[in-house]
């Protein structure tokens, strides 16, 4: 039987697409059942494997397929195996790896078909620039966005896999600084969240200033900093729920009244006034403004 062809939505109608899919965007080092007891005792919010359990619980269908994508990692086999093990231990038995190493792989029909069958997709950590350079404009990314728009797929990413979910995407910066103009480098991400910049390992690595610089250069955007073992669960393209043991920091630059970022040269410290910041914990909610949300192109 011939496969039904999905009608392409004109760009003029793209803003009216409310995704049926869901995003689970993780700040890195999510618990896989191996967190030391001293760390569990330190935080009363800690729940073992809470984030990955949520991923498995949200999967739809009988024997749902989970596709693990370890492309960001320099050790993809080892990284993928970690997730194969933990997902199977949590009851997801139908787990496959899409071992994408280059742009040719990202356009192979067998991998595209795997994405179209997936109930869940998991991007591992590593280097987010590998994800955008390999998947940008690929058939696999087109398939993922269509699945996100029209099905109940759950797309998750941790660390680099989380940072790549958004646009703008921070791909390099001085983690302990970021206050010097030119320290922070930004490019286009995979655009599941548009006009939202994601940063990970946020409090542990002191990244609030680098996220702020990214927002000062893109003040129409929202910055979301995710602490380790902490995630945001996103529905309808922008309704956010915090999941996990740490904090989520939201940096809102739309009210900036003054900044020197456009007057100073590289190597000089930037300043900003009028920023707003929110700090959210497990179960808290936040709504991304509607005009910033996902567009299917």
Dist. CA 198–CA 159, nearest whole Å: 10
Burial zone of 3 (CB within 10 Å; 0-12 exposed, 13-18 middle, 19+ buried): exposed
Positive or negative CA dihedral for 287, 291, 292, 294? Answer: positive
Q: Active site residue: 58, 146, 191, 228, which one?
A: 228
The string of DSSP codes covering 181-200 is: TTS-EEE----SEETEEEE-
CA distances, 66 to each of 89, 92, 150, 250 (Å)? 13, 8, 17, 30
Whether 278 is a known active-site residue: answer: no
Find where tokens 């910049």 sit. 197
What does the alpha-carbon distance between residue 281 and residue 142 come to, in Å, rounded to a whole number? 33
Active site residue 37: no
Count the neighbouring beta carbons within 10 Å of the beta carbon of residue 288. 22
Choose, from 49, 201, 227, 245, the residue flagged as catalytic: 201
Q: List the catalytic residue out of 73, 138, 159, 245.
A: 159
Q: Does the annotation mark 139 as catalytic?
A: no
Which residues does the annotation mark as catalytic?
A: 159, 201, 228
């Amino acid at each position: 039987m011939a496969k039904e062809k999905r009608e392409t939505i004109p760009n003029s109608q793209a803003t009216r697409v409310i995704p049926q899919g869901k995003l689970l965007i993780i700040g890195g080092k999510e618990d896989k059942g191996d967190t030391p007891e001293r760390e569990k005792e330190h935080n009363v919010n800690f729940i073992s494997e809470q984030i990955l359990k949520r991923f498995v619980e949200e999967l739809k269908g009988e024997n749902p397929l989970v596709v693990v994508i370890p492309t960001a990692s320099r050790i993809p086999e080892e990284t993928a195996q970690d997730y194969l093990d933990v997902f199977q231990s949590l009851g997801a038995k139908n787990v496959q790896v899409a071992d994408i190493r280059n742009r040719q792989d990202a356009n192979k029909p067998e991998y595209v078909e795997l994405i179209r069958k997936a109930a869940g997709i998991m991007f591992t950590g590593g280097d987010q620039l590998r994800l955008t350079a390999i998947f940008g404009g690929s058939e696999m990314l087109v398939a993922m966005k269509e699945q996100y728009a029209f099905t109940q797929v759950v797309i998750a990413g941790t660390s680099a896999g989380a940072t790549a979910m958004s646009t703008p995407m921070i791909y390099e910066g001085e983690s302990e600084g970021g206050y010097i103009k030119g320290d922070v480098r930004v490019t286009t991400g995979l655009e599941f969240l548009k006009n939202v910049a994601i940063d990970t390992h946020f409090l542990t690595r002191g990244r609030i200033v680098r996220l702020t610089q990214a927002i000062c250069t893109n003040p129409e955007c929202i910055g979301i900093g995710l602490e380790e073992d902490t995630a945001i669960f996103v529905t309808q393209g922008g309704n956010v729920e915090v999941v996990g043991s740490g904090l989520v920091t939201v940096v809102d630059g739309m009210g900036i009244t003054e900044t020197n970022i456009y007057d100073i040269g590289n190597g000089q410290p930037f300043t900003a006034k009028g920023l707003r910041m929110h700090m959210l914990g497990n179960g808290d909610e936040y709504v991304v403004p509607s005009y910033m949300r996902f567009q299917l192109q």
